[in-house]
C-alpha cells in the first residue's frame, strides 16, 4: 500500500475512533446513569502508547516496536529473552482483558470476575484440572530454555500492568468495577501454558459425537444410527496421504512403501473404515455392546424404560460441556481449517506457495494476533526471525514463517478422549473385580462480591468423574442398559473422562522449536513434541530448484483395546477397555515429503485410508467436502502445464461452491410445482452454478430448502436432547409400542440443545447421509408425518416438495415476498461479539462492544467455510478466523488478513479495521524483511532497559 494511502487511511480511522468514543460517552451519560464515572478519558485511558520510549525493566538492550497502518507490531531485539519480554508487554498493551478472561477460564476462576453465575462452569473446569496439569507440565516436562522464555514473557506482561488499575488496562474493567471488587493479579508462566489446554479442549475430537450416538438410541434403531454416521467416502474424497505404510521391520512410517492388505486395530476390524461411525455390529459399536452403554446386547434389545435414565444423564453431560466457554468454536464438524501447499514446480514463483485459514468461532477480538519477532542479528544468543499469528497470552508464533520455512495447521481430528461408565460407591470405584479408592482433592471457588464454594474432585484410573458436576449426573447410568456380565447397577454408574490433554506434555517446547526450525528434519522434530492438541502440520521451504513441501501428523493418540472404537462410552470396570500404556509412536504417524502429485491438501479429511494403516486415529473424520474441492481446484489449474499464483491461492480460499447443492438441485428442479409462488422460487435454481455468493437469491433459497429437508427427514425424528432448545414437536412416547390412540397418545417434547450445537447441523456428514438416499425414493427416511398445514410424505419427491414449499414461506417471512430481492447474505450474517460483556453484559455494553452484522458469502462445507448450523438457523457460527498465503522464499510478497484487528480495545481504530477486507476476501501485504517493515511503519516505540 502506498505511504500516502496508508496515511489517509490512518487519519480516517482516527476520525471514526473519535466519533465512536463520543457516541459511547453520550450513551453512557444519557442512558445509564454512570456518567459521573465515565468520560472520554475513561474510554481512551487503556489505549497503548505506540510512539516514543517506555522503560521495560529486565531488558539487556533496547527493543524496537514498529507498527504498521493496521497496528500490527514487528519487534526487534538483541536477545531471545528480550524478544519474549517485549512480546508479553505488547500483547498486554493490546489484549490484556482477553488474556485475563482466558486465564480465569483455564483455571476455573471465572466466578472471581463475573460472580455466582459462573460457579457451575468453574466447578466443571476445576474437575478437569487444566491449570493443575499446566503446573505439572511447567514443573516436570518443559525444557529450561522454554521456562526461561515463559518467565521473560510473564515479566513483560507484569511490567505493563505495574502501577495500573483495571480502568487503565481496558474499558471492560471499568464496566466490571460498577458491581465488583475485582483486582488484576500478576501474570505467571503457567497462565501461558494453560492456554494450550483450552485450545485442546475445543479441538478434542469426537466427544460430542460419542454422546450424540448414545442419545439417539432412545429414538432410533441400530440401523438408523448407522445410516446417520456413514463410513468415510474414500472413493470420492481423497485422504491427505494417499501412499505409504508403516514398515513393521523398521517400526516407522515409510511414505514410499506399498501398504499391506491387512492391518491391526483399525476401522477395518469393526467394518467401519477409519472414517465411519459404526461397525459391522451397527451404530452402537462393539465396545458399547460389551459395556452395556447401548450396544448390540444392551441397546435396541433393552426395554426402553431402562435406557431412558441413561439418556437423561448423557443429555446433562452434553449440556455441561456446552456451557464451558468455547474459545475456538462450537465443538463438532465445524471446527476445522483449510491448508494446502503447492510445489514450486506448479507455481508462477518457482517456489512453493502455502495457504492456511483455520475455522474457529467468530469473536471480538479475533483469537489471533499478528506479529513479527525479529532478532537484529540471528546468533546463538538471539535465534528467532519469525512472523505470523500468535495467541495473546502465549510467547512465540503459532502459524507463520521464519527466514527458512513456512508452516500451517489444521485440526487432525484424532479421537483423543473417551467417556467411561464407572461403578462407584462412597469409598471408590470397581476395577478388575476389586474396589479401588478414588484419588480426591478439594477445590475452593471464590465468588466476586464475597463467598465461596468448596467442591471435591474424585478421579479414577480413567480420569476425573465429570458426572459429579451435575445433579442429574450424580447417578449416571442408574437405568443404563447393561449386559449380564456388568456389575450390579445399585445406585447407578458415574461417568469419567479419559483425555490425553490431562497428562502433562511438551507442546510448549514444540512452539519454540517450530519457530526456529530450518528444514524438514527440524520441522518434524518440533512436531514430535506437539502432543496436544493433535494437528495436521504442512510445511514448505525455498531450498533447491523448486523448494520442498511436506506434511506431518503429530499428536499423542491413544491405542485402544481391540473392539473399543471410541464411538460409545466404555466399561470402566473392565481392564480390557483401558488405553494401552503407549500411544501411537511418533515414528509411525503418517507424513510425506515432496509427494509426486506436487501438492498437499489438509482440510480435516481422513489422514490415510484405514485399511492401509495399523492404528485407529478416529471414527469421526470430517467427510472431505472441502478438501476434495481444493484438490479439484488445484488439479484443474495445473493440468496442461498451468501454474498457480499467489492470487490463485487467495481465490481458492474464497471458493463458495456447494457440494450438496450440486448433488440435490437436479432433483429439486424435477419436482412438479403447482403453486405459482413456490414455482417462482424454484426458478431461482435454474441455471444456478451452485456458488453461494452473498448476493445470490438461488443460494438463499437452496439453503433454506436444504435446512427444511434435513428437518423433515431427520431432525423431527431425533430425540429432544439433540434438537434446538424451545422447538417443540408432538411425538410418540419413547417407550411406547402399538398404534397411537386414546390409550397411547402423542406427547409434546421440546428440544434442549443450543442452536449452534443442535442436529442435524447440515455439515458434510449429512451430505454422505443423503447421497445414497437420493437413489432410494421410497426409503423410510423420506417419510414425515402430516401436521395442521401439510400432508405427510412417503417418498423422496413428496418430502422434497414439502421442503420447497416450507422454504418459500420461511424466506417470505424473513426476506419478503419478492424473490428478486432475496440474497444469501441477508440470511447469512456475521456479528462479532465481545466474548464476555458483549454476550452476557448489559444491553448498552453489548451495543458498544460488538460490531456488525456483515452479509457473508460461503457456507457450511464450502472452502470459504462461513459455517452455519442448519438446525439452528442461518447465522454464521464459525469462520475462517484468519487467512494467509505465504510466498515461500520471497517473504515480502506473502499476504495475510485477520478477522478483526490488532487491538482488543473497543474504540481503538484497530478494533475491527481488517474485518471489511476479510469479508470481501481481500488480503493485506505482509512485510517481513527490515526494508519492507520500515517502509510500512507508521508508529515506532522503543522499549528501554
Decide if pLDDT at 889 tops 80: yes
**C-beta of residue 938 within 8 angstroms of C-beta of residue 9:** no
Decide if pLDDT at 362 tops 50: yes
Going across the sheet that includes 369-375, the strands are: 52-55, 939-944, 63-67, 73-77, 369-375, 385-390, 399-401, 405-411, 535-541, 548-552, 591-593
Confidence of residue 754 (pLDDT cuts 50, 70, 90): confident
Rounded alpha-carbon distances, angstroms, from residue 476 to 73, 293, 311: 51, 11, 9
Decide if pLDDT at 122 tops 60: yes
Residue 178's pLDDT is what? Answer: 58
Average pLDDT over residues 561-567: 78
Q: Report the alpha-carbon distance of residue 409 to residue 335 in Å, rounded.
A: 12
Could you count the other beta carbons within 10 Å of the beta carbon of residue 209? 23
pLDDT tens sequence across 11-54: 444 444 444 444 444 444 333 333 334 566 777 889 999 999 99
In degrees rounded to 5, what are phi and psi of residue 178? -65, -30
pLDDT tens sequence across 687-698: 999 999 999 999
Residue 570's pLDDT is what? Answer: 86
Q: Which position has the higher pLDDT, 136 or 199? A: 136
Q: Tell me which H or E stretch contains 440.
A: strand 439-446
Average pLDDT over residues 476-505: 66
Rounded alpha-carbon distances, angstroms, from residue 190 to 90, 101, 107, 619, 628: 19, 15, 10, 34, 40
pLDDT > 70: percent of the chain: 83
Range name among 299-308, 511-520, 653-662, 706-715 with the lowest pLDDT average: 299-308
**C-beta of residue 284 within 8 angstroms of C-beta of residue 568:** yes
Average pLDDT over residues 219-239: 94
**C-beta of residue 661 within 8 angstroms of C-beta of residue 698:** no
Residue 743's pLDDT is what? Answer: 57
Range name among 290-294, 501-505, 938-942 with the lowest pLDDT average: 290-294
Average pLDDT over residues 789-807: 94
Decide if pLDDT at 271 tops 50: no
Of 127-131, 519-523, 533-537, 570-574, highest mean pLDDT: 519-523
Average pLDDT over residues 235-252: 94
Rg (CA), the chain: 27
Decide if pLDDT at 221 tops 70: yes
Q: Taking the model in full, what pTM does it have?
A: 0.89
pLDDT tens sequence across 327-349: 444 544 445 799 999 999 999 99
Question: Measured at the alpha carbon of residue 859, what is the angle toward residues 212 and 926, in degrees to the nearest 5?
Answer: 115
pLDDT > 90: percent of the chain: 66
Decide if pLDDT at 925 tops 50: yes
Instruction: Give the up-direction half-sphere exposure of residue 244: CA atoms within 13 A in the CB hemisphere.
Output: 22
Q: Report the alpha-carbon distance of residue 129 to residue 432 in Å, rounded.
A: 26
Residue 331's pLDDT is what? Answer: 47
Confidence of residue 257 (pLDDT cuts 50, 70, 90): confident
**C-beta of residue 721 within 8 angstroms of C-beta of residue 311:** yes
Q: Which position has the higher pLDDT, 165 or 283? A: 165
Average pLDDT over residues 262-289: 33
Residue 486's pLDDT is what? Answer: 57
**C-beta of residue 123 within 8 angstroms of C-beta of residue 453:** yes
Decide if pLDDT at 376 tops 80: yes
Residue 492's pLDDT is what? Answer: 60
Residue 834's pLDDT is what? Answer: 86
Bridge partners (DSSP) listed for residue 229: none
Q: Report the alpha-carbon distance of residue 900 to residue 362 in Å, rounded.
A: 9
Average pLDDT over residues 516-542: 96
Q: Look at residues 505, 445, 490, 492 and name the one whose alpha carbon lies nearest to residue 465.
A: 492
Residue 272's pLDDT is what? Answer: 34
**C-beta of residue 752 within 8 angstroms of C-beta of residue 215:** no
Residue 474's pLDDT is what? Answer: 41
Confidence of residue 791 (pLDDT cuts 50, 70, 90): confident
Mean pLDDT (the chain, rounded): 85
Residue 470's pLDDT is what? Answer: 57
Decide if pLDDT at 304 tops 90: no
Average pLDDT over residues 495-507: 92
Q: Report the alpha-carbon distance of residue 287 to residue 281 in Å, rounded.
A: 10
Confidence of residue 503 (pLDDT cuts 50, 70, 90): very high
Residue 738's pLDDT is what? Answer: 55
**Cell digits of residue 773:** 438416499
Range name among 26-40, 578-592, 633-647, 669-683 with the lowest pLDDT average: 26-40
Confidence of residue 921 (pLDDT cuts 50, 70, 90): very high
Confidence of residue 794 (pLDDT cuts 50, 70, 90): very high
Residue 204's pLDDT is what? Answer: 64
pLDDT tens sequence across 177-217: 755 678 899 999 999 999 888 887 767 667 778 778 888 88
Q: Tell me which H or E stretch contains 194.
A: helix 189-202
Decide if pLDDT at 312 tops 80: no
Residue 366's pLDDT is what? Answer: 94
**Cell digits of residue 758:** 443442535
Amino acid at each position: 500500500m502506498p505511504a500516502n494511502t496508508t496515511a489517509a487511511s490512518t487519519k480516517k480511522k482516527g476520525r471514526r475512533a473519535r466519533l465512536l468514543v463520543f457516541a459511547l460517552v453520550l450513551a453512557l451519560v444519557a442512558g445509564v446513569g454512570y456518567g459521573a464515572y465515565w468520560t472520554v478519558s475513561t474510554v481512551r485511558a487503556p489505549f497503548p502508547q505506540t510512539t516514543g520510549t517506555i522503560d521495560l525493566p529486565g531488558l539487556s538492550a533496547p527493543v524496537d516496536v514498529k507498527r504498521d497502518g493496521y497496528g500490527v507490531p514487528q519487534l526487534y531485539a538483541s536477545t531471545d529473552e528480550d524478544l519474549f519480554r517485549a512480546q508479553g508487554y505488547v500483547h498486554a498493551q493490546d489484549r490484556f482483558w482477553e488474556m485475563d478472561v482466558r486465564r480465569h477460564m483455564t483455571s476455573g476462576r471465572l466466578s472471581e470476575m463475573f460472580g455466582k453465575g459462573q460457579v457451575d462452569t468453574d466447578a466443571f473446569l476445576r474437575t478437569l484440572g487444566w491449570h493443575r496439569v499446566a503446573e505439572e507440565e511447567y514443573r516436570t516436562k518443559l525444557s529450561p530454555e522454554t521456562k526461561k522464555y515463559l518467565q521473560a514473557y510473564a515479566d513483560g506482561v507484569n511490567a505493563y500492568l505495574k502501577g495500573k488499575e483495571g480502568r487503565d488496562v481496558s474499558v471492560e474493567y471499568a464496566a466490571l468495577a460498577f458491581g465488583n471488587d475485582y483486582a488484576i493479579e500478576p501474570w505467571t508462566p503457567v497462565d501461558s501454558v494453560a492456554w494450550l489446554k483450552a485450545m485442546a479442549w475445543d479441538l478434542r475430537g469426537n466427544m460430542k459425537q460419542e454422546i450424540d450416538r448414545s442419545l439417539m438410541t432412545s429414538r432410533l434403531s441400530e440401523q438408523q444410527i448407522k445410516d446417520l454416521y456413514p463410513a468415510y467416502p474414500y472413493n470420492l474424497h481423497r485422504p491427505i496421504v494417499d501412499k505409504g505404510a508403516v514398515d513393521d521391520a523398521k517400526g516407522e512410517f515409510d511414505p514410499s512403501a506399498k501398504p499391506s492388505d491387512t492391518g491391526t486395530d483399525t476401522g477395518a476390524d469393526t467394518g467401519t473404515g477409519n472414517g465411519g461411525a459404526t461397525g459391522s455390529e451397527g451404530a452402537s459399536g462393539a465396545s458399547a455392546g460389551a459395556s452395556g452403554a447401548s450396544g448390540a446386547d444392551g441397546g435396541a434389545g433393552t426395554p426402553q424404560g431402562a435406557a431412558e435414565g441413561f439418556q437423561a444423564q448423557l443429555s446433562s453431560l452434553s449440556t455441561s460441556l456446552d456451557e464451558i466457554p468455547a474459545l475456538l468454536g462450537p465443538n463438532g464438524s465445524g471446527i476445522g481449517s483449510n491448508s494446502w501447499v503447492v510445489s514450486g514446480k506448479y507455481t508462477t514463483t518457482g517456489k512453493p506457495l502455502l495457504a492456511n485459514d483455520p475455522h474457529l468461532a467468530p469473536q471480538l477480538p479475533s483469537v489471533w494476533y499478528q506479529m513479527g519477532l525479529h532478532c537484529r542479528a540471528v546468533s546463538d544468543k538471539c535465534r528467532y526471525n519469525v512472523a505470523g499469528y500468535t495467541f495473546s497470552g502465549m510467547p512465540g508464533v503459532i502459524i507463520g514463517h521464519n527466514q527458512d520455512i513456512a508452516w500451517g495447521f489444521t485440526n487432525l481430528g484424532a479421537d483423543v478422549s473417551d467417556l467411561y461408565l464407572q461403578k462407584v460407591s462412597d469409598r471408590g470405584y470397581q476395577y478388575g473385580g476389586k474396589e479401588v479408592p478414588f484419588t480426591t482433592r478439594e477445590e475452593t471457588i471464590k465468588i466476586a462480591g464475597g463467598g465461596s464454594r468448596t467442591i471435591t474432585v474424585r478421579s479414577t484410573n480413567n480420569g476425573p468423574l465429570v458426572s459429579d458436576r451435575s445433579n442429574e449426573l450424580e447417578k449416571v447410568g442408574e437405568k443404563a442398559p447393561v449386559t449380564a456380565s456388568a456389575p450390579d447397577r445399585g445406585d447407578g454408574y458415574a461417568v469419567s473422562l479419559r483425555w490425553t490433554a490431562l497428562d502433562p506434555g511438551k507442546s510448549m517446547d514444540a512452539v519454540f522449536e517450530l519457530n526456529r526450525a530450518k528444514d524438514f528434519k527440524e520441522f518434524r522434530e518440533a512436531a514430535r513434541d506437539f502432543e496436544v492438541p493433535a494437528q495436521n502440520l504442512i510445511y514448505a521451504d525455498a531450498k533447491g530448484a523448486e523448494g520442498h513441501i511436506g506434511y506431518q501428523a503429530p499428536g499423542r493418540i491413544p491405542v485402544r483395546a481391540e473392539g473399543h472404537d471410541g464411538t460409545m462410552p466404555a466399561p470402566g470396570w473392565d481392564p480390557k477397555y483401558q488405553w494401552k500404556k503407549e500411544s501411537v509412536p511418533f515414528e509411525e504417524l503418517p507424513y510425506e515429503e515432496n509427494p509426486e502429485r506436487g501438492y498437499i491438501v489438509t482440510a480435516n479429511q481422513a489422514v490415510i485410508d484405514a485399511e492401509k494403516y495399523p492404528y485407529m486415529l478416529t471414527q469421526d473424520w470430517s467427510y472431505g467436502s472441502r478438501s476434495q474441492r481444493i484438490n479439484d481446484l488445484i488439479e484443474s489449474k495445473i493440468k496442461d502445464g498451468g501454474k498457480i499464483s499467489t492470487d490463485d491461492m487467495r481465490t481458492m480460499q474464497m471458493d463458495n461452491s456447494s457440494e450438496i447443492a450440486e448433488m440435490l438441485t437436479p432433483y429439486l428442479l424435477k419436482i412438479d410445482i403447482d403453486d405459482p409462488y413456490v414455482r417462482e422460487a424454484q426458478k431461482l435454481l435454474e441455471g444456478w452454478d451452485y456458488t453461494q455468493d452473498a448476493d445470490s437469491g438461488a443460494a438463499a433459497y437452496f439453503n433454506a430448502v436444504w435446512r427444511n429437508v434435513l428437518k423433515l427427514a431427520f431432525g423431527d425424528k431425533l430425540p429432544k436432547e439433540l434438537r434446538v432448545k424451545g422447538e417443540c414437536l408432538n411425538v410418540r412416547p419413547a417407550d411406547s409400542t402399538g398404534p397411537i390412540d386414546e390409550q397411547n397418545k402423542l406427547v409434546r417434547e421440546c428440544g434442549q440443545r443450543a442452536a449452534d450445537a443442535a442436529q442435524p447441523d447440515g455439515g458434510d456428514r449429512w451430505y454422505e447421509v443423503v447421497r445414497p438416499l437420493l437413489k432410494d425414493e421410497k426409503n423410510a427416511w423420506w417419510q414425515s408425518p402430516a401436521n395442521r398445514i401439510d400432508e405427510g410424505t412417503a417418498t423422496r419427491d413428496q418430502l422434497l416438495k414439502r421442503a420447497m414449499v416450507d422454504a418459500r414461506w420461511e424466506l417470505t417471512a424473513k426476506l419478503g415476498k419478492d424473490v428478486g430481492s432475496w440474497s444469501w447474505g441477508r440470511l447469512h450474517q456475521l456479528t462479532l461479539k465481545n466474548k464476555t460483556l458483549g454476550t452476557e453484559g448489559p444491553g448498552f455494553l453489548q451495543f458498544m462492544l460488538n460490531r456488525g452484522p456483515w452479509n457473508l458469502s460461503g457456507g457450511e462445507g464450502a472452502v470459504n467455510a462461513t459455517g452455519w448450523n442448519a438446525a439452528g438457523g442461518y447465522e454464521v457460527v464459525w469462520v475462517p478466523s484468519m487467512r494467509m498465503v505465504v510466498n515461500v522464499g520471497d517473504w515480502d510478497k506473502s499476504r495475510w488478513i485477520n478477522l478483526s484487528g490488532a487491538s482488543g480495545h473497543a474504540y481503538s481504530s484497530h478494533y475491527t479495521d481488517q474485518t471489511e477486507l476479510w469479508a470481501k476476501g481481500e488480503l493485506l501485504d505482509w512485510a517481513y524483511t527490515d526494508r519492507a517493515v520500515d517502509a510500512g511503519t507508521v508508529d515506532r516505540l522503543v522499549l528501554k532497559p
